[in-house]
């Protein structure tokens, strides 16, 4: 096993020399104390069989590997990408060199190794004679596939001694992936993917203005923000799609809530920050980088997550004006329906100018970076937020593929909507009543929604309408004072009128079983095809119409959208199902689903 290691590698690296793909053994790991809210970082003790090094850090993107148990003690790893950085400790011993592992491959898991290899000792300092530090004549086999996309021709070692930034021709730049708060002596050569508008803020802590740019190079991406003076200094200089040499920024932990960029850090421009445009466009620097997910995967994304995706705009709603309930601001929004090859359809909400300026002609391709997943009525949708990038018909392979796919699509192609429409329209799964019970729908933390074909077995008509507070937003039952006045306890007010509200209980059934369900006002009106006030008056007048309205739906089939949720009453819990919407059955759709199900059961589905 000892021959797996590359003795001498540690000394070579810590002396500042190059050593490709060193293979070392992990002999210890420990978390580094960090501030609250910061991502945990780990320090390692490694051995190359000859020397130990405890000044080794794991790049944060490798933290999950460690936390998942892949980097236990005795594990042998090949370091496929690393950098050496100096930190000044507050003593007189001069700077300490830290080895930062950026990428690695597990050669042999610690459980298979089970012991310390050789008898390594702490290397002296870097003042040892250089001759003693040369790598062996047969270094470890080069890595065939490093997961890092860095290929700037400088090998694995990241030079850290770039101080010649005075010249924009500075040839040695650092990959974005290597930036960390531990080291500020770097220059990156990066392209501006997107630039935000200037925004102002005003809060208890003060006021100011800011903007941010998302930067990219071959190795990765990072967001940079300029505040106040930095806005005046850099906003005009930085243009989308142009390449710049940038140095002397402050790095801090990124808040993933506001950026989908693949970087644990983000940077802030400081008074020392230098930004120099690169006049000749360097085509080796990529343009915007997307981490696309297929639209059907959005179904499984958590609300609040930021995602990148691309789709064809199949349909667009009107521009809608509304007032924010929380901020009272006037808002404009527009919902687009996007589709892709996964046959999923998802709603993308545009706001403000983007809603107004969007042109639906020719079913444009829409690419989004950093769209925010939302949840409504059991469906998932995406909304553009401040940090999102939004590109129409981008010149990227995925967009061309989508265009070709969509243009060749049969006109009657069906898509599965994973977003709920505002009218409670269909989305999500279909199942029978028995399947809903078997699958324990409604037993999770959140309510479950499903669609079902069912027949109305029985409607309970007693107490199905009640007199409610006439205030538009209040639907509380009023107390009839029998003086022509109706009292609402919630509004603490008496009114001369009321409105009828419906709350209906009914039993529904299909071949698999039956279920008691509740319908509130809007769904009940939809299903009964009559207004609550009308039904209330029929009841008052003891009109035969009252009975007729319920008879009309009894033993009739419907497509229902149901909400299932367990509710607790004291120590008793009961599964409650509420009808969100009721539509006459679409037999064509019903048949299509049954045929698909039969094919699947028969093993004939493709």
Which has the closest alpha carbon to 516: 556, 465, 458, 557? 458
Which residues, 6+ apart, have CB-to-CB distance to 258 below 8 Å?
306, 385, 386, 387
- For 550, list phi and psi in degrees, rounded to 5: -85, -35
**From the centroid of its chain, how far is CA 133?**
47
Q: How far is the CB of 380 from DNA (least distance, A)?
A: 10
b/e 445-459 (16+ beta carbons within 10 angstroms → b) = eebbbbbbbbbbeeb
Which residues, 6+ apart, have CB-to-CB distance to 284 below 8 Å?
152, 218
Nearer to DNA, 49 or 371 (CB): 371
Q: Of these, 6, 247, 381, 559, which contacts DNA (CB under 7 A)?
A: 381
d(CA 159, CA 104): 19
376 binds DNA (CB under 7 A): yes
d(CA 60, CA 264): 7
Which has the closest alpha carbon to 87: 79, 78, 97, 77? 97
214 binds DNA (CB under 7 A): no
Nearer to DNA, 78 or 380 (CB): 380
Q: How far is the CB of 303 from DNA (least distance, A)?
A: 10
Structure tokens at 232: 């005046």
Q: Of these, 30, 141, 252, 551, which contacts DNA (CB under 7 A)?
A: 252
User: Site size for DNA, by CB under 7 A?
Assistant: 42
d(CA 559, CA 583): 5
Q: Of these, 139, 374, 509, 557, which contacts DNA (CB under 7 A)?
A: 374
Binding segment for DNA (CB under 7 A), chosen from 162-170, 321-329, 523-531, 532-540, is: 321-329
Nearer to DNA, 233 or 590 (CB): 233
Quick check: 179 and 267 in contact, CB under 8 A?
A: yes
Q: How far is the CB of 390 from DNA (least distance, A)?
A: 12
d(CA 501, CA 535): 9
Facing residues of 468 across strands? 477, 499
Q: Of these, 6, 146, 225, 452, which contacts DNA (CB under 7 A)?
A: 225
Nearer to DNA, 154 or 354 (CB): 354
Quick check: 54 and 70 in contact, CB under 8 A?
A: no
Q: Of these, 351, 390, 430, 520, which contacts DNA (CB under 7 A)?
A: 351
Nearer to DNA, 55 or 211 (CB): 211
Q: How far is the CB of 246 from DNA (least distance, A)?
A: 16
Q: How far is the CB of 501 from DNA (least distance, A)?
A: 18
Q: Of these, 35, 93, 329, 588, which contacts DNA (CB under 7 A)?
A: 329
210 binds DNA (CB under 7 A): yes
387 binds DNA (CB under 7 A): yes
199 binds DNA (CB under 7 A): yes
Per-position x/- string for 403-432, each x denoting binding to DNA as judged by CB under 7 A, each - no binding: ------------------xx----------
d(CA 518, CA 508): 10
Which has the closest alpha carbon to 191: 178, 209, 173? 173
Q: Of these, 95, 149, 201, 594, which contacts DNA (CB under 7 A)?
A: 201
Strand-pair category, 41-47 with 51-58: antiparallel
Binding site for DNA (CB under 7 A): 199, 201, 203, 205-206, 208, 210, 212, 225, 227-228, 230, 252, 254-255, 257-258, 266, 268, 270, 320, 322, 324-327, 329, 331, 333, 349, 351-352, 372, 374, 376, 381, 383, 385-387, 421-422
């Amino acid at each position: 096993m000892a021959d797996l290691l590359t003795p001498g590698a540690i000394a070579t690296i810590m002396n500042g020399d190059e050593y490709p793909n060193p293979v070392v053994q992990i002999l210890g790991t420990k978390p580094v104390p960090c501030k609250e809210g910061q991502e945990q970082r780990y320090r390692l003790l490694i051995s190359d069989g000859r020397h130990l090094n405890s000044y080794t850090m794991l790049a944060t993107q490798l933290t999950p590997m460690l936390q998942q148990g892949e980097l236990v003690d005795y594990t042998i790893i090949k370091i496929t990408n690393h950098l050496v950085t100096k930190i000044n400790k507050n003593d007189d011993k001069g700077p300490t060199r830290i080895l930062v592992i950026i990428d690695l491959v597990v050669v042999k898991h610690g459980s298979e190794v089970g012991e310390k290899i050789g008898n390594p000792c702490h290397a002296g300092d870097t003042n040892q004679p250089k001759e003693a530090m040369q790598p062996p004549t047969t270094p470890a086999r080069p890595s065939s596939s490093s997961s890092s996309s860095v290929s700037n021709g400088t090998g694995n070692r990241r030079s850290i001694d770039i101080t010649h930034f005075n010249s924009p021709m500075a040839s040695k730049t650092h990959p974005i992936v290597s930036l960390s708060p531990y080291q500020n002596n770097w220059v990156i050569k990066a392209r501006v993917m997107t630039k935000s508008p200037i925004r102002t803020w005003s809060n208890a802590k003060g006021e100011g203005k800011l903007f941010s740019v998302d930067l990219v190079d071959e190795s990765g991406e990072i967001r940079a923000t300029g505040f106040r003076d930095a806005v005046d200094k850099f906003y005009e200089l930085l243009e989308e799609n142009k390449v710049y040499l940038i140095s002397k920024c402050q790095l801090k932990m990124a808040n993933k809530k506001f950026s989908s960029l693949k970087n644990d850090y983000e940077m802030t421009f400081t008074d020392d920050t230098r930004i120099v445009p690169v006049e000749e466009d360097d085509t080796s620097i990529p343009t915007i980088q997307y981490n696309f997910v297929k639209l059907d995967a959005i179904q499984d994304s958590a609300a609040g997550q930021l995602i990148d995706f691309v789709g064809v705009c199949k349909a667009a709603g009107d521009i809608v004006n509304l007032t924010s309930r929380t901020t009272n601001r006037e808002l404009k929004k527009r919902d687009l329906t996007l589709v892709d090859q996964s046959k999923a359809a998802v709603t993308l909400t545009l706001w403000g100018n983007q809603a107004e300026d969007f042109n639906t002609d020719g079913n444009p391709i829409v690419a989004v970076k950093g769209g925010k997943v939302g949840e409504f009525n059991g469906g998932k949708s995406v909304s553009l937020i401040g940090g999102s990038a939004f590109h129409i018909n981008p010149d990227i392979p995925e967009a061309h593929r989508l265009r070709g796919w969509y243009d060749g699509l049969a006109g009657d192609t069906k898509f599965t909507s994973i977003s709920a429409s505002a009218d409670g329209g269909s989305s999500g799964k279909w199942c029978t009543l028995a399947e809903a019970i078997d699958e324990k729908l409604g037993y999770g933390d959140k309510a479950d929604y499903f669609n079902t074909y069912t027949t109305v077995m029985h409607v309970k008509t007693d107490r199905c309408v009640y007199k409610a507070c006439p205030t538009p937003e209040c639907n509380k039952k009023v107390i009839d004072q029998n003086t022509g006045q109706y009292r609402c306890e919630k509004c603490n007010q008496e009114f001369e009128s009321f409105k009828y509200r419906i709350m209906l209980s009914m039993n529904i059934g299909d071949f698999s079983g039956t279920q008691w369900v509740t319908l509130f006002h809007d769904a009940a009106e939809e299903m009964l095809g009559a207004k609550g006030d009308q039904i209330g008056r029929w009841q008052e007048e003891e009109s035969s119409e009252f009975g007729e309205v319920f008879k009309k739906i009894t033993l009739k089939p419907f497509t229902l959208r149901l909400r299932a949720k367990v509710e607790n009453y004291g120590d008793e819990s009961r599964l409650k199902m509420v009808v969100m919407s009721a539509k006459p059955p679409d037999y064509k759709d019903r048949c299509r689903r049954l045929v698909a199900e039969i094919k699947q059961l028969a093993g004939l589905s493709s």
